[in-house]
Amino acid sequence: MTPAQALPAVLDKIDADLHQSLERLFDFLRIQSISTDPAYKDQCRSAAEYVANDLSMMGFNAAIRPTSGHPIVVGKGGSQGKTPRVLFYGHYDVQPVDPLDLWEAPPFAPRISMLPDGRKIIVARGACDDKGQLMTFVEACRAFKAITGQLPLPITMVIEGEEECGSKHLFDFVKENADEFKLDLALVCDTSMWDPTTPMVTTSLRGLVYEEVRLTCADRDLHSGLFGGAVQNPLRVLARILAAMHDEDGRVTIPGFYGGVSELPPQIKADFKGLDLTPENFLADVGLKVPAGEKDRMLIEQIATRPTAEINGVIGGYTGEGAKTVIPAQAMAKVSFRLVGGQDPQKIRTAFHDFVRVRLPADGRVEFQSFASAPATELPFDSPVLAKARAALAAEWGKKALAIGEGGSIPIVGDFKRVLGMDTIMVGFALDDDRVHAPNEKFDLTSFHKGTRSWARILAALSA
């Protein structure tokens, strides 16, 4: 029985086992695997153990592989000889949960809830990004094993624990073990649908440079009455630097920033114009009206194919209740850049450092800390595996699957191409209202269920 022949029974099995699949996901979601905060180190380890154990129980040869950060789970299964040999990538770590007081229920107590429009949702930190998404693939594999006794293809899973803090150790791990991971095709489930009924293959991802800037002026906090007027305030210096990063038209002003950014081919631009994406609709969902990006660009370009500079966090001085008349000694900002096309992360980083330094007063000091650095990545539009994946998605959702770029970054995808020579098919079931990285993160139950079915179809299609 070929995977294609087994597919109807596999899909039935997925439907029949949905409740058990959800129980497994909930167990996974209860683990507080916040990778960026060292206080959660043990919980990250527990999440890795959960994944390794689950893969082992399905018959994968699974191991927890150490790094000098959080460990990486590697699982290998399926009969050798079949093609394509696929590498599935996901991550067991999640974002921090602050501000905690905006969560309607504890972030690590997953629950099923219902939206006013009747959609059932899974609510928890990681429900979507990436625990819920990666489990759609795992559950599809499980259903194949249950029905056919084997995986439809040779599958190697790489599930890391540092995606939310820059995948610092994954890159070297993949490079050092290139023989294990240099397969035929990579699959990733960490992206979005176009809308709740329209599936999508993500064909490009923006890269990311993430920097922390710490400015110091005086050697201690000072009284703004006694020193105000003469002493430089690092919050003022920082405000001027951050304000200068964009011009009045929303363009990034850092010299050389747009080097390597190409204009879209006319045909793609025309396709984009045909999409039903208006700034009004997109922004109304988050309580806004006015696009804040480059003035001469379509919204879909602003969020998918144009680079950005973003201020992710600022702190300095007195931020508690009430008033404190202080001139702080220090101010800190976290700044990140989304990259497209051929933008070089190292050049962007250096240009940003120069941009900051040239704006410092002569007696000001700056320290930088770098958290992420990954170029953009693109899948050729004429790839045969892309065609197979789109057809499988169309069969599941009853609607043509779009092939389009996405604004987020999955740094390792660039390395799959550069280091391992593999293309990556990115299929995901996130929706715009999933509150990814924010309080009350959710994943539609339909995304989880039909996502699992979608992967079963894609695996069957790839094996044909």
List the interface residues with its own copies, window 187-206 (CB under 8 A): 192, 206
Distance between CA atoms of residues 401 and 422, nearest Å: 22
Look at the block and give the residue holding tokens 């959710």: 442
**Interface residues for its own copies in 328-367 (CB under 8 A)?**
328, 331-332, 334, 336, 338, 361-363
Q: Which stretch binds its own copies (CB under 8 A): 4-12, 29-37, 341-349, 419-427?
A: 29-37
**Interface residues for its own copies in 265-324 (CB under 8 A)?**
279, 282-283, 286-294, 299, 302-303, 306, 308, 310-324
Look at the block and give the residue holding tokens 């879909």: 300
Nearer residue to its own copies within complex by CB, 77 or 407: 407
CB of 128 to its own copies, least distance (A): 10
CB of 181 to its own copies, least distance (A): 24
Nearer residue to its own copies within complex by CB, 303 or 393: 303
Candidate list 123, 140, 188, 208; residue touching its own copies; CB under 8 A: 208
Q: Which stretch binds its own copies (CB under 8 A): 46-54, 110-118, 225-233, 349-357?
A: 225-233
Of residues 285, 305, 282, 281, the one with CA closest to residue 294: 305
In this structure, the number of other CB atoms found within 10 A of the CB of residue 6 comes to 21
Distance between CA atoms of residues 206 and 260, nearest Å: 13
**Interface residues for its own copies in 429-458 (CB under 8 A)?**
432, 435-440
Q: Take residue 454 and report the two structure tokens written for it.
A: 């979608």
Look at the block and give the residue holding tokens 């093609």: 83
Candidate list 235, 385, 386, 461; residue touching its own copies; CB under 8 A: 235
Residue 303: which region, alpha, beta or left (left: phi > 0; alpha: psi -120 to 50)? alpha
Nearer residue to its own copies within complex by CB, 142 or 206: 206
Distance between CA atoms of residues 462 and 185, nearest Å: 10
Nearer residue to its own copies within complex by CB, 178 or 226: 226
CB of 35 to its own copies, least distance (A): 8
Nearer residue to its own copies within complex by CB, 43 or 463: 43
Contact 316, 238 (CB under 8 A): yes
Angle at which helix 384-397 crosses helix 445-463, to 10 degrees, equals 140
Q: Which stretch binds its own copies (CB under 8 A): 13-21, 114-122, 228-236, 382-390?
A: 228-236
CB of 458 to its own copies, least distance (A): 23
CB of 208 to its own copies, least distance (A): 7
- The DSSP H or E segment spanning 145 is helix 131-148
- The DSSP H or E segment spanning 198 is none
Distance between CA atoms of residues 280 and 293, nearest Å: 14
Q: Take residue 75 and report the two structure tokens written for it.
A: 């699982």
Distances (CA, A) of 307 to 153, 165, 263, 411: 37, 20, 12, 15
Nearer residue to its own copies within complex by CB, 8 or 361: 361
Q: Which stretch binds its own copies (CB under 8 A): 54-62, 92-100, 148-156, 170-178?
A: 92-100
Distances (CA, A) of 382 to 166, 321, 386: 30, 58, 8
Nearer residue to its own copies within complex by CB, 36 or 177: 36
**DSSP-assigned states of every residue in 376-402:** -EE--TT-HHHHHHHHHHHHHHTSPPE
**Interface residues for its own copies in 159-178 (CB under 8 A)?**
164-166
Nearer residue to its own copies within complex by CB, 305 or 452: 305
**Interface residues for its own copies in 97-156 (CB under 8 A)?**
98-99, 102
Contact 89, 183 (CB under 8 A): no
**Interface residues for its own copies in 391-430 (CB under 8 A)?**
406-409
Nearer residue to its own copies within complex by CB, 203 or 409: 409
Nearer residue to its own copies within complex by CB, 102 or 109: 102
Candidate list 28, 40, 181, 210; residue touching its own copies; CB under 8 A: 210
Candidate list 141, 222, 420, 445; residue touching its own copies; CB under 8 A: 222
Q: Take residue 116 and report the two structure tokens written for it.
A: 């006013």
Task: Name 63's Cβ contacts closer than 8 Å, sequence gap at least 6.
Answer: 52, 73, 74, 75
Q: Sheet harboring 111-114: ordered strands across?
A: 111-114, 120-123, 442-444
- The DSSP H or E segment spanning 210 is strand 207-216
Q: Which stretch binds its own copies (CB under 8 A): 48-56, 119-127, 230-238, 384-392?
A: 230-238
Nearer residue to its own copies within complex by CB, 18 or 239: 239
